[in-house]
Amino acid sequence: MNVAREKDLVFLMSKDRKSFMVRLEPGAQLQTHRGVIRHDDLIGQPLGREVPSHLGYPFLVLQPSTHDLILDLKRTTQIMYPKDIGYVLLKTNVGPGSRVVEAGTGSGGLTLALARAVMPTGRVYSYEVRPDVLNLAAKNLEKLGLRSLVELKERDIQEGFDEVDVDALFLDLRTPWEYLAQAHAALKGGGFFGATLPTTNQVVWLIRALPEHGFSAVEVEELLLRPYKAVSARLRPMDRMVAHTGYLIFARKIEREAGTLAAAEEGSLSIISN
């Protein structure tokens, strides 16, 4: 039986879709818009059930998903949206045992997902130049019990990465095309490269540079997420949707001469310049 225990994180959701992330502590209480819920009423009890507040209003008690944890992160920087993060994990083939490098840790949204994906034997190496942001990411990972899976490094990646032969590498930086030589040196042959950028002109700079630095199979994609009101009597789209959040760029490292690569893909790149 899946039981809530002391120190566990649980996710509570009311019928009006308000949600709360709670770390269970004996004697503590959660104050909500629909009344008070005692932690002692949750500890030792099964997850996946309803519990009433002191006003009798029911709340679902659930195990939080990775999606829930990302949206609940304390942050001072914009994080990648879960809809993009999930796709990045699939496209870069990240799984248990993978060794992954990311640059641009930010508040740790992608870092969190990478750490959960590579556990228990994998490793995430995350680079960030801002010490205050890196400290916040460390606290977020520590809170979720994921800190041991991640090596956080305060460094400008212009100096290169410490790691070699990693399975995947992802750049969340303003000018990722400036660091492709470093990325190529860190990846294993055939390794997975990914990046995210907010504007098309940045994407053009990156896809022009990728073949010149030993990358091929370049893809540019964008994900749009439209939620629906899950009411059987009036199922329809929500009034708002999560539309453009960024462009996703993927490629693979190949062991070929940069000049040969550039020539082979010159035809496709000329379309962009035209």
Same domain as 179, residue 103 = yes
Same domain as 164, residue 47 = no
What are all long-range contacts of 158-163, with beta carbons under 8 Å and residues at least 24 apart?
158/182, 160/185, 160/186, 161/101, 161/103, 161/125, 161/127, 161/185, 161/186, 162/125, 163/99, 163/101, 163/125
The residue range of the domain holding 16 is 9-64
Whether residue 1 lies inside any domain: the answer is no
Same domain as 244, residue 227 = yes
Whether residue 2 lies inside any domain: the answer is no
Same domain as 161, residue 29 = no
CATH number at residue 22: 3.10.330.20
Same domain as 202, residue 155 = yes
Whether residue 202 lies inside any domain: the answer is yes
pLDDT in single tens digits along all 274 residues of the chain: 699 999 999 999 998 889 999 999 999 999 999 999 999 999 999 999 999 999 999 999 999 999 999 999 998 888 899 999 999 999 999 999 999 999 999 999 999 999 999 999 999 999 999 999 999 999 999 999 999 999 999 999 999 999 999 999 999 999 999 999 999 999 999 999 999 999 999 999 999 999 999 999 999 999 999 999 999 999 999 998 888 999 999 999 998 664 454 444 454 444 344 4
Same domain as 235, residue 119 = yes
Same domain as 247, residue 132 = yes
Whether residue 88 lies inside any domain: the answer is yes
Which of 64, 87, 107 is a domain's end point? 64
- The predicted model scores a pTM of 0.88
